[in-house]
């Protein structure tokens, strides 16, 4: 954890950690959970994420947990953590969850089963992708978003774009790391001064983005190596801007 009240990274399983927070603790949930969509067969899904999502061999970032589920078990798991997360959010709190096209239908099901109101889907246009002749480029990932009940239009929050155009970050320390500026844009769906929850913190990009934009944030990360990397990265980045 951090000794800074503005942010913390908790090492643990989100399904076990979330129940320890009091209702109404958080003003938003913004997260990038494991998609469990890489690989066409279950045998391919069961491979290490370092092999599924990287061709860097021994130089790849560390593998992460929770990415070997089939679609039914992933949907059940997502509904459970989304339910637990909603219970510790304030009424009207937004939720934003990254996903790819293969798990998009399952993600919208899980969000609604957990009691959130599904309000739409935004697009992250990565620009670059492996071209395949006779196919559309798979250059987009998606942000399924909604709210914990009614979301008044009078909230002091700007109108955010529906498409965000940023390339994949260079020199990634996580296999599926999102661009920092992308996350700085997305956290602005939260009311000013709010506390943001990221149950799948990875390398800490969402937590860092939240703090840089004036929010406080709690990240949960099950993989020991990434929890440590996230803490170190956030501390260093915040020291650099002081």
Tell me if 133 is assigned to some domain: yes
Question: What element of type H or E holds 126?
Answer: none
Tell me if 2 is assigned to some domain: no
Give mean pLDDT in consecutive 10-residue pieces for the chain, a chain of 242 residues.
81 97 98 80 60 54 68 94 98 98 96 98 90 89 98 96 91 77 98 98 96 98 93 94 80
For residues 196 and 154, the answer to whether their CB atoms sit within 8 Å is: no
Tally Cβ neighbours within 10 Å of residue 151.
Answer: 17
What does the alpha-carbon distance between residue 176 and residue 169 come to, in Å, rounded to a whole number?
10
What does the alpha-carbon distance between residue 39 and residue 100 come to, in Å, rounded to a whole number?
13
Q: What angle do CA 6, 180, 174 make, to 5 degrees?
A: 95
- Identify the pLDDT of residue 52: 47
- Identify the pLDDT of residue 64: 59
- Identify the pLDDT of residue 66: 63
Q: Are strands 195-198 and 117-125 parallel, antiparallel or unpaired?
A: unpaired
The region that residue 221 occupies, defined by phi over 0 for left and psi between -120 and 50 for alpha, beta otherwise, is: beta
Give the Å distances, CA to CA, from 225 to 34, 94, 129: 16, 29, 28
- Identify the pLDDT of residue 71: 87
- Identify the pLDDT of residue 131: 79
Tell me if 121 is assigned to some domain: yes
If one counts the domains in the chain, the total is 1
Tell me if 50 is assigned to some domain: yes
Tell me if 152 is assigned to some domain: yes
- End-to-end C-alpha distance for the chain, whole angstroms: 21
Tell me if 153 is assigned to some domain: yes
Query: Hey, CA dihedral for 146, 142, 201, 106, is it positive or negative?
Result: positive
Residue 143: which CATH number?
3.40.50.150
Tell me if 164 is assigned to some domain: yes
User: Encoding tokens for residue 217?
Assistant: 């944030």
Q: What angle do CA 228, 54, 171 make, to 5 degrees?
A: 55
Tell me if 63 is assigned to some domain: yes
- Identify the pLDDT of residue 145: 98
Which structural domain, as residue segments, surrounds residue 134?
A: 7-241
For residues 117 and 146, the answer to whether their CB atoms sit within 8 Å is: yes
């Amino acid at each position: 954890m951090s000794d800074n009240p503005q942010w913390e990274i908790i090492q643990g399983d989100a399904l076990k950690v979330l129940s320890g927070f009091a209702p109404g603790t958080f003003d938003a949930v913004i997260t990038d959970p494991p998609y469990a969509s890489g690989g066409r067969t279950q045998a391919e899904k069961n491979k290490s994420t370092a092999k599924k999502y990287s061709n860097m061999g021994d130089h790849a970032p560390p593998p992460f947990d929770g990415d070997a589920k089939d679609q039914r078990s992933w949907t059940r798991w997502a509904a459970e953590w989304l339910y637990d997360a909603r219970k510790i959010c304030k009424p009207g709190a937004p939720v934003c969850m990254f996903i790819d096209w293969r798990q998009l239908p399952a993600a919208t099901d899980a969000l609604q089963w957990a009691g959130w109101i599904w309000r739409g889907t935004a697009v992250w246009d990565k620009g670059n992708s492996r071209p395949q002749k006779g196919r559309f480029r798979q250059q987009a990932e998606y942000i399924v978003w909604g709210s914990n009940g009614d979301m008044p239009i009078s909230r002091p929050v700007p109108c955010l774009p529906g498409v965000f155009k940023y390339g994949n970050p260079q020199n990634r320390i996580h296999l599926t790391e999102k661009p920092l500026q992308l996350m700085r844009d997305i956290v602005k769906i939260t009311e000013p001064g709010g506390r943001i929850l990221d149950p799948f913190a990875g390398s800490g990009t969402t937590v860092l983005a939240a703090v840089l934009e004036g929010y406080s944030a709690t990240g949960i990360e099950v993989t020991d190596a990434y929890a440590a990397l996230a803490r170190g990265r956030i501390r260093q980045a915040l020291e650099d801007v002081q």
